[in-house]
């Protein structure tokens, strides 16, 4: 059985990664916009 | 059986109407310069990293990711949700393949093109049958999920919700082609990710890890176990199902062809990494239900139930938007890619080989409409067995993994081996589905298919010439046919 | 019945009086109907995956012939058929609950109903017949066998792609 600590670690890591994702997407998008390489 | 709808139907109706108007406008706006078939079907083969990553990620987030992941967490616990997140491996493994595909076939249109040129007519037709069966199953499951979810969340009747979602997607896909699909996908990716984070954080704040763990340990101990047998069996089955879905489906191949040179690898890799945490976050929301004292009458409704219970109207709106974004981003991609497959592999290659650019452009539009109508008809029947049609396709799609992958990297794999692998793999997987359970069908299909590919490659090696994959595109409207190959790349393709 | 009629009698010549009489008649009629009907227990059943659950999860559902009266249910779970130390797993007006995460073994369930109105005259119905659900997880051996096959196919596929990629870029 996984412990409370392990559950906490798993979910926190997950939420952090999920939070980084949209930021990265938007950064990449503005970079593409600047370079004219959106599509 | 269940409680009152969590979202007021009028509010839901307004949300739906606003999104419809916005998406259709945006679709038309982005598609207004798509004149050639390459623009329409492949967004000019020039898509950049941001939109590329966004579309790959959003398309792979389906209604299943937001609804089935919580359900699996509640059924199978930790391995259920982590196992579901292994579906990201398909995207990650496709990254190097996307690069290889674009190198090998600079003028390719569909996955069908590859199989036809690599393996010949028989394997091609088997592959098309599997592809179209899977595509239709996925389309219908998405359409039905749309109707069911909108009804469960807001009380708006099934057939209205289903019709609205299908109509929106057909319209903006029709108007804008792949650019509209990808542009809306990008926006939907951002919505989904932000929505999931907000929901996850709010659940943690409201319930707390200690509480969740304690309630589970007391009432549902097997969910915290890492040795639960059904969950263990499910792990690699789910992974291989996902790999099979991505390796064969024209949804992903069309992206490989549409992305600018050098973008494919990074886009699929990033998309896989960004997709992976979503099932775990959604699954955790479900595991919090016992801790919150929420009764779950139906496991597939646990996600929305928790969100609405915890967050009231805000939560309900958030869930509504996330689920809509997940559905629409997959539906539009599927409509576009399946239409491409039918137009290129059925219409052009079987019926009208000399068709011009303009004819193909019109045919694409017609097929999108027809696909939408067919999907609508099947969804309107509202048969629960149809909703689970997608599960059924596991054996079939997993049987294509080795024929496709070996076909891309080994010149020795022969055509009969590939066809046999797909047929026998599908049959074995189906047998396993009925005799053991849904959670081993893809695994068995993949294993049998792999064995056949390995055996036939060893016993009867072929000598395939990679340059035969380079083929001319459709005739441009105003000029005589000219080779389209953009620079010879034969040195790069020499292999073993 | 007589008790109610006495209080409204003076007002019977007015519309209000007639309305009061009619409602009092209705109210007077209902309790005995509810009492009669709730001498019947609810019906507790499980879905296809009940009776023998191979993954520790199943859906319990229940209903009552007089459910249109607006009923509250109570569902109990116990480790023994005698319900010596039962646990209430659900209390409310839903008609189903999804049970999961159960370990190997047999659990017993029963349900009862009462009208949702809080009135001491409305008592619980009798308990439903007991439903026994046995959870028997797949054997570990079988699970690990499938895990091994799956892992092998997965690793072989990764190897194919990694090696194929490397060979391709070396000559490129």
Cβ pair A4:B193 closer than 8 A: no
Q: Which two tokens stand for residue B412?
A: 């020795």
Which among B285, B301, B447 has a CA at the least distance from the CA of A15?
B285
B233 contacts C94? CB cut-off 8 A: no
Whether the CB of B477 is below 8 Å from some CB of chain C: the reply is no
Residue B156 to chain C, least CA–CA distance (Å): 21
Identify the band that residue B453 occupies on the pLDDT scale cut at 50, 70 and 90. very high
pLDDT in tens, B93-109: 999 999 999 999 988 99
Instruction: Give tens-digit pLDDT for C86-116.
Output: 999 999 888 889 999 999 999 999 999 888 7
Q: How many of the other CB atoms lie within 10 Å of CB of C72?
A: 17
Residue among B104, B133, B372, B134 at smallest CA distance from B256: B104
Give strand pairing partners of C99. C58
Confidence of residue B67 (pLDDT cuts 50, 70, 90): confident
Measure CB to CB from residue A25 to each of B50, B212, B281 and give the nearest one.
B50
**Does the distance separating the beta carbons of A28 and B50 come in below 8 Å?**
yes
**Alpha-carbon distance A7 to nearest alpha carbon in chain B (angstroms):** 7
Please list every residue in chain B whose beta carbon sits closer than 8 Å to the beta carbon of residue C172: 491-493
CA separation for the pair B118, B101 (Å, rounded): 12
Residue matched to tokens 């998309």: B271
Average pLDDT value for chain C: 76
User: Which of B87, B75, B86 shows the shortest CA–CA distance to B286?
Assistant: B75
CA distance C111 to C129: 8
Put simply, the answer to whether B496 touches C167 (Cβ < 8 Å) is: yes
Q: Which of C168, C169, C170, C171 to mutate to test the interface with B (most CBs of B within 10 A)?
A: C168
Instruction: Please give the pLDDT value at position B171.
Output: 93
Residues of chain B with CATH 1.20.1730.10: 9-383
- Residue A32 has phi, psi (to 5 degrees) of -60, -40
Instruction: For residue B32, count other CB atoms closer than 10 A to its CB.
Output: 12
Chains C and A touch (3+ CB pairs under 8 A): no
Query: How far apart are the C-alpha atoms of C76 and B100, rounded to whole Å?
Result: 59
Average pLDDT for residues C119-136, to the nearest whole number? 83
What local confidence, expressed as pLDDT, does residue C24 receive? 44
Whether residue B197 has pLDDT greater than 70: yes
Confidence at residue B476, expressed as pLDDT on a 0 to 100 scale: 54
Residue B138 is predicted with a pLDDT of 92
The model's pLDDT over B131-145, given as tens digits with 9 standing for 90+, comes to 999 999 999 989 998
Quote the CA–CA distance of B278 and C167 in Å, as a whole number: 34
**Interchain contact, B270 vs A24, CB within 8 Å:** yes
Closest Cβ opposite residue B50 in set A4, A18, A32: A32
- The chains in contact with chain A, meaning 3 or more Cβ pairs closer than 8 Å, are B
B10-24, B88-102, B410-424: range with lowest mean pLDDT: B10-24
Element (H, E) at B316: helix B302-341
Contact: A1, B225; criterion CB under 8 Å: yes
CA–CA separation, B69 and B57 (whole Å): 16
Q: Mark which residues 350-369 of B lie under 8 Å from C by CB.
A: none
Cβ neighbours of A2 in B, within 8 Å: 78, 224, 226
Q: Do A1 and B284 touch (CB under 8 A)?
A: no
**Which of A25, A27, A36 to mutate to test binding with chain B, by most B CBs within 10 Å of its CB?**
A25
- Residue in B closest to A21 by C-alpha: B274
Cβ contacts (< 8 Å) between B223 and chain C: which residues? Answer: 100-101
Q: Check residue B489 and give its pLDDT.
A: 35
pLDDT given for residue C37 in this prediction: 53
Q: Which two tokens stand for residue B75?
A: 């059924």
DSSP state for residue B259 in the 8-state scheme: B
Q: Is B213 on the interface with C (CB under 8 A)?
A: no
Are C55 and B230 a contacting pair at CB < 8 A? Answer: yes
Q: Which of B32, B48, B73, B231 to mutate to test the interface with A (most CBs of A within 10 A)?
A: B48
The whole-angstrom separation of Cα C143 and Cα C137 is: 10
B354–chain C nearest CA distance, Å = 34
Report the gap between the CA of A17 and the closest CA in chain B (Å). 7
pLDDT band at B392 (very low <50, low <70, confident <90, very high): confident
Minimum distance, in Å, between the CA of residue A19 and any CA atom of chain B:
6
* Homologous superfamily in CATH for domain B9-383: Sodium/glucose cotransporter (1.20.1730.10)
Mutate to test the interface with C, among B226, B230, B399 (most CBs of C within 10 A): B230
Q: Does C157 touch chain B (CB under 8 A)?
A: yes
With a CB cutoff of 8 Å and minimum separation 6, the contacts of B251 are B59, B333, B334, B337
Q: Determine contact: B230 vs chain C, CB below 8 A.
A: yes
Q: In what helix (H) or strand (E) does residue C135 lie, and over which residues does it extend?
A: strand C131-135
Per the CB < 8 A criterion, the answer to whether A38 and B48 are in contact is yes
- Closest by Cβ to B405, choosing from C103, C146, C157: C157
Do the Cβ atoms of C57 and C99 come closer than 8 Å? yes
Q: Which pLDDT belongs to residue C1?
A: 27
Instruction: Give the phi and the psi of residue C119 in degrees, each rounded to 5.
Output: -145, 130
Cα distance between residue B333 and residue B184, in whole Å: 10
B200/A14 Cβ within 8 A: yes
Chain C residue with minimal CA distance to B232?
C143
Q: Residues 6 or more apart from B413 whose CB is under 8 A from it? A: B403, B406, B407, B453, B456, B457, B461, B462, B464
Mean pLDDT (chain B, rounded): 88
Distance from CA of B224 to the nearest CA of A (A): 5
Q: For B254-309, how does the pLDDT look when each residue is reduced to its tens digit (9 = 90+)? A: 999 999 999 999 999 999 999 999 999 999 989 999 888 888 888 877 887 887 77
pLDDT of residue B39: 87
CB contact under 8 A, B409 and C165: yes
Tell which residue, B216, B304, B246, B291, has the closest CA to residue B2.
B304
- What gap in Å lies between CA C32 and CA C1, rounded to an integer? 11
Q: Are B131 and B249 in contact (CB under 8 A)?
A: yes
Mean pLDDT on C68-89: 88
Which of B363, B319, B378, B317 has the alpha carbon at shortest distance from B135? Answer: B378
Q: What integer pLDDT is reported at residue B377 of this predicted model? A: 96
Query: pLDDT tier at B370 (50, 70, 90 boundaries)?
Result: very high
What's the average model confidence in pLDDT over B371-389?
84
Closest in C98, C102, C164 to B298, CB measured: C98
Return the CA Rg of chain C.
29
Bridge pairing between strands C52-53 and C131-135? parallel
Closest residue to C161, CB basis, from B227, B235, B405: B405
């Amino acid at each position: 059985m996984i412990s409370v600590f392990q559950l906490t670690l798993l979910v926190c890591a997950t939420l952090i990664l999920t939070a980084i994702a949209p930021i990265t997407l938007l950064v990449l998008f503005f970079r593409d916009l600047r370079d004219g390489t959106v599509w | 059986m269940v409680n009152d709808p969590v979202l007021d139907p009028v509010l839901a109706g307004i949300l739906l109407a606003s999104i419809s108007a916005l998406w259709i406008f945006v679709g038309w706006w982005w598609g207004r310069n798509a004149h050639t078939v390459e623009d329409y079907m492949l967004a000019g083969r020039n898509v950049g990293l941001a939109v590329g990553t966004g579309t790959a990620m959003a398309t792979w987030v389906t209604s299943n990711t937001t609804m089935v992941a919580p359900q699996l967490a509640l059924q199978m616990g930790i391995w259920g949700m982590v196992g579901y997140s292994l579906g990201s491996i398909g995207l990650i493994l496709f990254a190097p393949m996307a690069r290889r595909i674009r190198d090998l076939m600079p003028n390719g249109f569909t996955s069908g093109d590859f199989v036809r040129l690599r393996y010949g007519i028989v394997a091609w037709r088997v592959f098309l049958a599997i592809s179209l069966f899977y595509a239709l199953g996925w389309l219908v499951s998405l359409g039905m999920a749309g109707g069911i979810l909108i009804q469960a969340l807001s009380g708006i009747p099934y057939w209205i919700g289903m019709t609205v979602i299908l109509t929106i997607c057909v319209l903006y896909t029709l108007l804008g082609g792949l650019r509209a699909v990808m542009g809306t996908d990008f926006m939907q990716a951002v919505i989904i990710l932000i929505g999931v984070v907000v929901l996850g954080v709010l659940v943690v704040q409201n319930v707390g890890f200690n509480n969740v763990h304690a309630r589970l340990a007391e009432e549902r101990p097997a969910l915290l176990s890492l040795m639960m047998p059904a969950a263990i069996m499910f792990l690699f089955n789910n992974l291989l199902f996902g790999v099979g879905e991505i390796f064969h489906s024209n949804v992903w191949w069309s992206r490989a062809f549409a992305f600018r040179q050098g973008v494919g690898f990074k886009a699929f890799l990033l998309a896989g990494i960004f997709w992976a945490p979503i099932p775990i976050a959604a699954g955790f929301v479900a595991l919090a239900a016992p801790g919150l004292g929420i009764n779950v009458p139906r496991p597939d409704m646990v996600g929305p139930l928790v969100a609405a219970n915890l967050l009231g109207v805000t939560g309900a709106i958030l869930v509504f938007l996330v689920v809509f974004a997940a559905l629409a981003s997959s539906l539009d991609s599927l409509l576009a890619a399946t239409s491409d497959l039918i137009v290129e592999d059925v219409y052009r290659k079987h019926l009208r080989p000399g068709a011009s650019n303009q004819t193909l452009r019109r045919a694409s539009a017609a097929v999108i409409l027809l696909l939408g109508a067919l999907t609508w008809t099947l969804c309107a029947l509202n048969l629960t067995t149809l909703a689970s049609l997608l599960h059924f396709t596991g054996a079939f799609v997993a049987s294509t993994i080795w024929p496709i992958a070996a076909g891309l990297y080994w010149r020795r794999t022969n055509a009969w081996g590939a066809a046999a692998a797909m047929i026998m793999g599908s049959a074995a997987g189906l047998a396993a589905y009925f005799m053991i359970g849904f959670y081993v069908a893809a695994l068995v299909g993949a294993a049998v298919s792999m064995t056949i590919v390995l055996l036939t490659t060893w016993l009867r090696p072929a000598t395939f010439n990679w340059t035969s994959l380079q083929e001319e595109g459709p005739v441009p409207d105003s000029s005589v046919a000219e080779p389209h190959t953009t620079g010879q790349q034969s040195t790069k393709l020499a292999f073993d | 019945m007589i008790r109610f009629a006495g209080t409204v009698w003076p007002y019977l010549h007015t519309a209000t009086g007639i309305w009061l009489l009619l409602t009092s008649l209705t109210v007077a009629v209902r309790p005995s109907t509810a009492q009669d009907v709730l001498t019947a227990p609810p019906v507790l059943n499980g879905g296809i995956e009940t009776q023998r659950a191979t993954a520790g999860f199943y859906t319990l559902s229940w209903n009552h012939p007089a459910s249109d009266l607006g009923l509250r249910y109570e569902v109990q779970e116990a480790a023994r058929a005698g319900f010596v130390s039962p646990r209430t797993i659900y209390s409310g007006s839903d008609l189903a609950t999804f049970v999961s995460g159960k370990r190997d073994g047999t659990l017993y369930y029963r349900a009862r109903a009462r009208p949702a109105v809080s009135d001491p005259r409305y008592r619980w119905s009798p308990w439903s017949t007991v439903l026994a659900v046995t959870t028997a997880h797949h054997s570990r051996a079988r699970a690990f066998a499938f895990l091994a096959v799956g892992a092998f196919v997965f690793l072989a596929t990764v190897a194919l792609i990694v090696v194929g990629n490397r060979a391709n870029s070396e000559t490129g």
